[in-house]
């Protein structure tokens, strides 16, 4: 039932319009496909979660012999029309169904997917890419993106508190401070997806997780725990912790054709606060009460991200941190 609702949400044109209008996302994928054109041209490609089929069409433009474009939402029927409209029906085969259920009668040379969710792992679509890799990818095949890293850092964001919480102190001359506890609960109980800037970040980030799409196993994604130790670069209130991710588009390390290549700079899609904004923005875990930090003050602890037992596409997040001689749990 959860998956039915999930795939139904991706049938809405607005979701795909937002992703296609994300220039950083879409142009980086196109650049990565063209960068690896020698590994795609004349090859068979599998697009996991193809949406409108834009990545499949990019691969066809790069010379792929055949592209299997798979999507479980009804947007697949629109993808079929788009493929026909671009006169690519002889190259791009759109399959409507979950990747775990569709029938593909040949191995593929390339798997491409835009599987990343908020905080990298929300929606848990990486598991479908792993399934496709283990079932259909030829040895030494190409996976795009190839690697991913999830980062976190403490942040200050007084404006967010002012807009959501302190607003209630005086509403058209009426005192409403009694609303503040409820406002904090509603605003900060769950993670918030929003855009911050590099100026909000108090320290260098810590790596929470690193994913190698060529080797990662699905069970490794069920629970991820990372320790952190930050040193504040500013005297400022600590309002919460931000998470963001990067993905890289590297070729298979052991591929003979990849070894022949001249080393070059990796193509990276970043959702970091200091980079151009994307539709993923950043994921914020706000504290109910800010903590006043001094410059060089230490914040240390651990974060655990686990798939929900009730619905694996959802995440549970447990944050434990120590600063100023006191432990906190979020």
| Catalytic residue numbers, as ranges | 114, 123
Q: Is 292 helix (H, G, I), strand (E, B) or coil?
A: strand
- List the end-to-end C-alpha distance of the chain, in Å, as a whole number: 29
Nearest to 136 by CA among 92, 189, 83, 100: 100
Question: Distance between CA 235 and CA 293 in Å, rounded?
Answer: 5
DSSP 117: B
Tokens of 131: 């399934």
- Residue 27, C-beta contacts closer than 8 angstroms, at least 6 positions apart: none
Integer Cα distance of 165 and 147 in angstroms: 39
Backbone φ, ψ for residue 41 (5° rounding): -60, 130
Using CA atoms, how far apart are residues 45 and 56, in angstroms rounded to an integer? 8
Q: 310 forms bridges with which residues in the sheet?
A: none
Pair 319, 330: CB distance under 8 Å:
yes
């Amino acid at each position: 039932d959860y998956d039915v609702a999930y795939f139904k949400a991706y049938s809405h044109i607005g979701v795909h319009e937002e992703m296609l209008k994300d220039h950083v996302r879409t142009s980086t994928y196109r650049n990565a496909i063209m960068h690896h054109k020698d590994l795609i041209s004349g090859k068979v490609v599998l697009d996991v979660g193809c949406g409108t089929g834009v990545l499949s069409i990019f691969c066809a433009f790069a010379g792929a012999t055949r592209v299997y474009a798979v999507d479980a939402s009804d947007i697949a029927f629109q993808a079929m029309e788009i493929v026909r409209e671009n006169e690519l029906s002889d190259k791009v085969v759109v399959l409507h169904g979950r990747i775990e259920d569709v029938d593909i009668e040949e191995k593929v040379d390339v798997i491409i997917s835009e599987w990343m969710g908020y905080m990298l792992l929300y929606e848990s679509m990486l598991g479908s890419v792993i399934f496709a890799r283990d079932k259909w990818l030829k040895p030494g095949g190409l996976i795009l993106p190839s690697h991913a890293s999830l980062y976190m850092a403490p942040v200050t964001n007084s404006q967010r508190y002012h807009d959501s919480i302190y607003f209630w102190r005086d509403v058209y001359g009426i005192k409403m401070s009694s609303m503040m506890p409820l406002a904090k609960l509603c605003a900060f109980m769950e993670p918030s997806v929003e855009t911050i800037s590099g100026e909000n970040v108090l320290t260098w980030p810590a790596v929470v997780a690193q994913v190698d799409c060529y080797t990662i196993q699905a069970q490794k994604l069920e629970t991820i725990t990372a320790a952190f130790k930050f040193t504040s670069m500013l005297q400022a209130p600590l309002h919460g912790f931000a998470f963001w991710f990067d993905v890289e588009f590297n070729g298979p390390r052991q591929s003979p054709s990849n070894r022949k290549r001249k080393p070059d700079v990796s193509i990276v899609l970043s959702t970091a606060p200091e980079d151009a904004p994307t539709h993923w923005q950043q994921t914020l875990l706000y504290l109910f009460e800010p903590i006043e930090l001094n410059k060089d003050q230490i914040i240390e602890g651990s974060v655990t991200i686990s798939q929900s037992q009730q619905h694996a596409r959802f995440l549970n997040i447990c944050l434990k941190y120590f600063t100023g001689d006191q432990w906190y749990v979020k």
